């Protein structure tokens, strides 16, 4: 911290001695004048005049000397004041631009300082400075914690939930600390948005629960079939063969689940497992159509590929990842389209992207579920659950693979009318 400049003495010892000699000389001169004219009154007048002259001279010397000495001190104080104002302005800029919300309160609970992040996080729409905090933030637990802090000055953390004007829920972690602000007791609140962390934690718990369920179901079936085979293999070989087939089917289900989980893990790992190259999107779609043609035929679904052979759609992507995307989207469309339905896959250019488009006239997806269908193991309403024979990871794989390659996925759907999935992947050259 910058120290204030020292104040120099106004008069040096030599100057003080000179003033004393001048006063002594004036006294002697006054006595001589009084003796010449006679009378004590004259002496007193002479002495008074002499002292007045000496004091006047002394004061003038002090003022001149003080002015000369204080002028550098004034410059130093002005420089110090400017430095402090600059530091305060810089601190205010830093606080205002922090990502965390910062609020400072006095002992009465009035707001002394609130940065932009605090107003945004707590959804404060008026200027809170100078007003009680309770007028802007109505969180009983937080207000109670602030009151306790002024009593014992022990730091505390509080988790509060707020909603903005659009009804969006936000979870905040608020650190409350007792501080000294401008020489008085105050409380500092630091708020951080924990919404994303909470959402990820909920997704993690849901994922663990779903994985446990998905693994438990086929394992329980395998165990039951194996016990039945053990009992029936001697008396009813035909029944034992049937149950062995069921065991094999459940093992394949487990195999598909584990393979999809590994594919999803690689997709979420990003570009490190991808090998971008020039890929003809039309050829990839044709390969996926060939794979799913027998499955579509078994459900009497008309599976079509609309392509323009004259203008291939070339993208910069990992071919295996792109084929995985096409297989999952087309397979998903067939799975959720009833018998006698229609599924169409096509490709096109859209600016700097090649687009894989898959349309169906299946069960559709309600609007409130359209963002969740890309979550792991999400199955949605009962109509989709009845149609679902997959692992519940297909669309999550599609989304992550598209994003890992610099693309995105869009969904348009209406219940009982069908869905349209569009996967955008970077094209090799700009469209003309």
pLDDT per position as a tens digit, 162-186: 887 777 788 899 999 998 888 888 8
Residue 326 — pLDDT band, cuts 50, 70, 90? very high
**pLDDT value for 383:** 47
For residue 294, the surrounding DSSP H or E stretch is helix 281-298
pLDDT at 388 over 60: no
At residue 304, the pLDDT reads: 92
**Cα gap 159→169, rounded to integer Å:** 13
Distance CA 69, CA 353 (A): 76
Q: Indicate if the pLDDT at residue 27 is higher than 90.
A: no
Predicted pLDDT of residue 21: 61
**In the prediction, which pLDDT does 424 show?**
95
pLDDT for 287 equals 92
pLDDT winner (highest mean) among 131-140, 209-218, 387-396? 131-140
| Sheet arrangement for strand 101-105 | 111-114, 101-105, 184-193, 169-181, 156-163
Count Cα atoms within 13 angstroms, Cβ side, for 406: 13
Nearest-angstrom CA–CA distance, 6 and 70: 10
pLDDT of residue 99: 80
- Per-residue pLDDT averaged across 100-105, rounded? 89
Tokens of 337: 């389209």
Of the pLDDT bands very low, low, confident and very high (cuts 50, 70, 90), residue 96 is confident
The top-scoring range by mean pLDDT among 263-272, 339-348, 365-374, 398-407 is 339-348
Q: Is 237 left (phi over 0), alpha (psi -120 to 50) or beta?
A: alpha
Residue 190 has pLDDT above 50, yes or no: yes
List, for residues 253-301, the tens digit of each pLDDT value. Answer: 777 777 767 777 666 666 667 788 999 999 999 999 998 999 899 999 9
**Which has more confidence, 24 or 181?**
181
Q: Which has more pLDDT, 383 or 311? A: 311
**Start-to-end CA span in the chain (Å):** 64
pLDDT computed for residue 361 by the predictor: 92
Residues 6+ apart with CB under 8 A from 277: 316, 317, 318, 319
DSSP letter at 181 equals E
Only one residue has tokens 């500092």, namely 188
In angstroms, the CA 427 to CA 317 distance is: 8
Rounded CA separation 228/199 (Å): 43
- pLDDT value at position 386? 44
Contact criterion met (CB below 8 Å) for 412 and 420? yes
pLDDT for the residue 278: 92
pLDDT value of position 100: 85
Pull the structure tokens for residue 87: 């530091």
Lowest mean pLDDT, pick from 23-27, 338-342, 348-352:
23-27
**Which tops the pLDDT comparison, 15 or 132?**
132
Calpha distance 311→41 (Å, rounded): 128
3-class secondary structure for 126-178?
A: CCCECCEHHHCCCCHHHHHHHHHHHHHCCCEEEEEEEECCCCCEEEEEEEEEE
SS3 assignment, position 406:
coil
User: Is the pLDDT confidence value at 41 over 70?
Assistant: no
Residue 166: the pLDDT is 73
Q: Which of 55-59, 228-232, 297-301 has the lowest mean pLDDT?
A: 55-59
């Amino acid at each position: 911290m910058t120290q204030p400049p020292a104040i120099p003495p106004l008069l040096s010892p030599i100057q003080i001695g000179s003033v004393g000699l001048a006063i002594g000389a004036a006294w002697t001169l006054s006595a001589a004048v009084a003796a010449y004219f006679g009378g004590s009154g004259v002496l007193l007048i002479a002495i008074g005049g002499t002292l007045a002259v000496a004091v006047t001279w002394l004061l003038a010397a002090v003022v001149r000397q003080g002015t000369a000495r204080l002028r550098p001190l004034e410059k130093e104080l002005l420089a110090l004041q400017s430095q402090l104002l600059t530091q305060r302005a810089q601190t205010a800029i830093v606080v205002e631009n922090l990502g965390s919300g910062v609020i400072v309160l006095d002992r009465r609970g009035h707001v002394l300082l609130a940065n932009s992040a605090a107003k945004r996080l707590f959804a404060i729409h008026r200027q809170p400075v100078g007003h009680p905090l309770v007028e802007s933030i109505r969180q009983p637990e937080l207000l109670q914690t602030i009151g306790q802090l002024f009593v014992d000055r022990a730091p505390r953390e509080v988790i509060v939930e707020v909603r903005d004007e659009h009804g969006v829920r936000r979870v905040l972690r608020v650190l409350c600390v007792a501080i000294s602000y401008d020489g008085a007791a105050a409380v500092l609140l630091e708020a951080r948005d924990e919404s994303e962390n909470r959402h990820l934690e909920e997704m993690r718990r849901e994922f663990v629960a779903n994985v446990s369920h998905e693994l438990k179901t086929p394992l329980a079936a395998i165990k039951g079939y194996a016990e039945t085979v053990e009992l029936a293999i001697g008396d009813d070989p035909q029944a034992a063969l049937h149950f062995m087939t069921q065991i094999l089917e459940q093992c394949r289900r487990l195999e598909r689940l584990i393979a999809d989980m590994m594919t999803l893990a690689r997709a979420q790992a990003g570009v490190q497992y991808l090998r971008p190259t020039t890929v003809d999107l039309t050829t990839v779609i044709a390969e996926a159509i060939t794979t799913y043609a027998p499955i579509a035929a078994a459900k009497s679904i008309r599976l079509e590929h609309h392509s323009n052979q004259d203008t291939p759609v070339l993208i910069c992507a990992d071919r295996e990842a792109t084929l995985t995307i096409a297989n999952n989207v087309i397979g998903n469309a067939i799975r959720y389209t009833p018998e006698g339905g229609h599924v169409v896959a096509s490709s096109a250019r859209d600016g700097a992207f090649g687009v894989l488009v898959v349309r169906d006239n299946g069960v559709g997806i309600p609007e409130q579920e359209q963002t969740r269908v890309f979550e792991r193991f999400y199955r949605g309403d009962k109509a989709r659950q009845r149609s679902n024979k997959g692992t519940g990871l297909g669309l999550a794989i599609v989304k992550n693979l598209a994003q890992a390659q610099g693309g995105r996925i869009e969904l348009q759907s209406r219940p009982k009318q069908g869905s349209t999935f569009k996967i955008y992947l970077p094209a090799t050259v700009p469209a003309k």
